[in-house]
């Protein structure tokens, strides 16, 4: 039994006001108390999920020299391939035991952002890779929009408060491959303890042990979702905006038991980012004498830039 609460997004969009209120209350409580929730009833079909896993497994099985051709210099890993051990958690020197790919935003009707964001990278060896990635991106973005609408109501904002900020936002879909472990890791785990940068993260592939969440008592608890669920958590941007009312919880992906070292693990998070101009200033209705303002004013773009430097993905 997972310690992470479960909700069904269909309750929110059903048209039944009581089910909608119940969903808002449950997801709000989950994000205030542990920062994670398992969500069913989202917009990803089983077929799409299966197709994406098939495509990313084929990509990560390509020879290293073919994958390396898709590692684009000078863009902080925002698109294309990032090779094994390149990224590390904030405050750590050891690179995480993973390689990954980034699909980014498919900008609509905004030439300025189209010119600003790096282009998505096309994989020539796999005919369906980019189309399947784009469809998955769109369905996760749609799911995230409704989650944020529910959270806006929980925070006593207009239901569509986030809509203008997430349209054409700098969101990232990141298929991750944790390769088999071949020797005793030196102070490195598959993903060291960290908080996410963005508004919310929607995670596919948290279906086996590995992902752990740190609760308020400082204990690590396993976060395990059913195959039909997404694991969704609060990122640092939403925590700042809500003056830490919604919790950006520290989490990690631990190495498996030694007997499972020979197996790969795949995980696919979608990092929901707003446009860079979004102010992350603490909401007035989240500040009172018992909850003084905890964070300085900053935009989402400046905050992201600071964090990418801390992660070692871009240089100052």
DSSP 131-176: HHHHHHHHHHHHHHHHHHHHHHHHTTS-TTTTHHHHTT---EE--E
In this predicted structure, the answer to whether residue 114 has a pLDDT above a threshold of 80 is yes
Q: What is the 3-state secondary structure (H, E, C) of 178-219?
A: ECCCCCCCCCCCCEEEECCCCCEEEEECCCCCCEEEECCCCC
pLDDT-based confidence at residue 1 (cuts at 50, 70, 90): very low
Rounded Cα distance between 197 and 238, Å, is 9
220: phi then psi, degrees, rounded to nearest 5 = -90, 130
Q: What is the sign, positive or negative, of the torsion defined by CA atoms of 232, 315, 274, 81?
A: negative
For 14-18, what is the mean pLDDT? 95
**What is the spatial distance between Cα 173 and Cα 134, in angstroms, rounded to a whole number?**
9
- pLDDT on residue 209: 65
Task: Round to the nearest angstrom and report the end-to-end CA distance of the chain.
Answer: 44
Residue 140 to residue 66: CA distance in whole angstroms: 28
Per-residue pLDDT at 150 exceeds 80: yes
Residue 292 CB-half CA count within 13 A: 0
Per-residue pLDDT for 155 more than 50? yes
Q: Which of 28-32, 115-119, 193-197 has the lowest mean pLDDT?
A: 193-197
Mean pLDDT of the chain: 87
Instruction: Identify the residue whose tokens are 């752990």.
Output: 212
Rounded Cα–Cα distance for residues 150 and 168 (Å) = 20
Higher pLDDT, 206 or 150: 150
* Mean pLDDT to the nearest integer, 160-180: 94
Q: Please give the C-alpha separations between residue 37 and each of 127, 233, 247, 248, in angstroms, as whole numbers.
A: 35, 6, 12, 12
Structural domains for the chain: 6-310 (2.60.120.330)
Percentage of the chain with pLDDT > 90?
Answer: 65
pLDDT value for 264:
81
Asked if residues 264 and 178 have their Cβ atoms less than 8 Å apart, the reply is: yes
- Percent of the chain clearing pLDDT 70 (strictly above): 86
CA distances from 273 to 76, 91, 94, 202 (A): 16, 22, 26, 11
Taking the C-alpha atoms of residue 119 and residue 103, their distance in angstroms, rounded to an integer, is 9
Q: What is the dihedral of CA 76, 80, 86, 88, to 10 degrees?
A: 70
Query: Residue 171's pLDDT is what?
Result: 96
Number of other CB atoms surrounding residue 230 within 10 Å: 29
At 200-216, the pLDDT tens digits run: 999 986 445 677 878 77
> Given a cut of 90, is residue 132 above it in pLDDT?
yes
Which one, of 195, 188, 194, 213, lies nearest residue 96 by Cα? 188
Joined together, the tokens standing for residue 286 give 């989240």
73-108 residue pLDDT tens: 887 778 999 987 655 445 544 556 789 999 999 999
């Amino acid at each position: 039994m997972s310690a992470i609460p479960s909700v069904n997004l269909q309750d929110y969009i059903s048209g039944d006001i009581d089910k909608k209120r119940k969903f808002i209350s449950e997801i709000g409580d989950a994000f205030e108390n542990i920062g994670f929730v398992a969500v069913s009833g989202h917009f990803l079909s089983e077929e799409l999920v299966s197709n994406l896993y098939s495509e990313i497994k084929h990509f990560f099985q390509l020879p290293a020299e073919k994958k390396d051709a898709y590692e684009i210099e000078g863009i902080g890993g925002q698109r294309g391939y990032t090779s094994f051990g390149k990224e590390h958690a904030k405050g750590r020197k050891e690179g995480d035991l993973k390689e990954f790919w980034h699909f980014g935003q498919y900008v609509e009707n905004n030439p300025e952002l189209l010119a600003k964001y790096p282009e998505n990278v096309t994989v020539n060896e796999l005919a369906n890779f980019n189309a399947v990635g784009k469809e998955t991106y769109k369905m996760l973005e749609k799911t995230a929009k409704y989650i944020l609408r529910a959270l806006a109501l929980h925070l006593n904002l207009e239901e569509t408060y986030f809509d203008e900020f997430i349209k054409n936002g700098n969101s990232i879909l990141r298929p991750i491959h944790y390769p088999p472990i071949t020797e005793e890791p030196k102070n490195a785990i598959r993903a060291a303890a960290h908080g996410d940068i963005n508004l919310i993260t929607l995670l596919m592939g948290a279906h086996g042990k590995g992902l752990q969440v740190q609760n308020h008592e400082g204990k690590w608890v396993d976060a395990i979702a059913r195959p039909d669920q997404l694991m969704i958590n609060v990122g640092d941007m939403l925590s700042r905006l809500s003056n830490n009312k919604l919790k950006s919880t520290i989490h990690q992906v631990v190495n498996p038991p030694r007997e499972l070292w020979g197996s790969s693990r795949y995980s696919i998070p979608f990092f929901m980012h707003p446009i860079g101009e979004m102010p992350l200033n603490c909401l007035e209705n989240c500040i009172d004498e018992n909850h003084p303002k905890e964070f300085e004013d900053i935009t989402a773009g400046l905050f992201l830039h600071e964090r990418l430097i801390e992660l070692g993905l871009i240089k100052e």
